[in-house]
Amino acid sequence: MTRRFATIFVLLLAVLWIPAGASADTTGSIDASADVQGLTVGDPFWYTVKLIISADSQPQLPGNEVDFGGFEIRDYDAETTQLPDGRQQITLRYQLVGFTVGERQIADFEVEAKRTVDGKEHIDKYLAPPVTVTIESVLPPQGGELKPKPIYGPMFLAPWWYSWVWPTVIALAILAALLVGVWLWQRQARRTPGEPERELTPQEEAHYALAALRNRKLIAAGKFKAFYSELGDILRRWLQHRADIPAMEATTPIIRYDLRRSELADDWQEDFIALLSRGDLVKFAKWIPQDDIAYSDLEEAFELLQRGAITEPVDELEIEAGDREGAAA
């Protein structure tokens, strides 16, 4: 009797122990989080997903082609480490940017992993819990005061190949600015020795910069994002001198708010903000305008400079000659 009881007890322990050991190896989990403290329109933030799966599982990682709804992916990183119990821990990090004010949820993020169970292929699906993201407006509430955001140092991200796109565009813009500077220097050197040198006014600098932008033929090449980025920078630099507004560090809504305190005409302000807003649609909302619209915006930029200029003596013949030389180059 005692021997039979011992045999049954050993078999019972074996039955209970084997499933427990098997399930421990296939247990998986997923979690998600986001660093969204003090987030405003256009601010980047990191959305992190941590997935733990068994050692024999083969995950199908979503990569940087995930659709996050109203959020745009700026950067992506994936890292796999092995835990002490043999399981895999996979960390997915997405740098996202949102342009809609309000509370939004990042949900339905799913990862699939394949493994073999009893000789058959089995697919485990892991659904990340939803994460709530609140984006605040950069404008003050009605009747409130504008509180400037703190300025932090630059963030150094992992050097993935697609992260070099913007540095390349900036380098090309700097190269173009250097070429324009060399051209202006050579033009100055060709003057007669007795001719006095004169420093260009902000009005003339902006005019020359627009002429150089027109000669780069970015519209004909379909490079609308680069075109509107440089067009917006030219107008912002000019506005800093014209109305004493820190436009280079401000968004379009902030510029609209600051312009109300200037002496510039209301219809001029509306046309100026409308032109910057179209540029924002191209740069951030991926809107592709028709060629004639882009050419019209360039001509409107010239007109805005002329309408908003401070009355002062300007050598119009010299500016026209510079335009002709730029077109010939």
What the block records as the tokens of 47 is 């959305």
Q: Where do the domains of the chain lie, and which CATH numbers do they carry?
A: 27-135 (2.60.40), 163-190+199-328 (no CATH)
Confidence class of residue 277 from pLDDT cuts 50, 70 and 90? very high
Which segment of 62-71, 165-174, 269-278 scores lowest on mean pLDDT? 62-71
| Cα-Cα-Cα-Cα dihedral sign, residues 316, 317, 318, 320 | positive
**Across 1-10, 108-117, 311-320, which has the greatest mean pLDDT?**
108-117
Distance between CA atoms of residues 271 and 263, nearest Å: 15
Task: Give the chain's mean pLDDT.
Answer: 79
Grouping H, G, I as helix, E, B as strand and the rest as coil, residue 123 is: strand
Nearest to 209 by CA among 241, 234, 188, 226: 234
Q: Does 17 have pLDDT greater than 80?
A: no
The pTM score is 0.38
End-to-end CA distance of the chain: 108
Confidence class of residue 27 from pLDDT cuts 50, 70 and 90? low
Look-up of token digits 């805005």: 304
pLDDT of residue 322: 57
The whole-number average pLDDT for the span 113-134 is 87
Confidence class of residue 215 from pLDDT cuts 50, 70 and 90? very high
| Cα-Cα-Cα-Cα dihedral sign, residues 5, 6, 7, 8 | positive
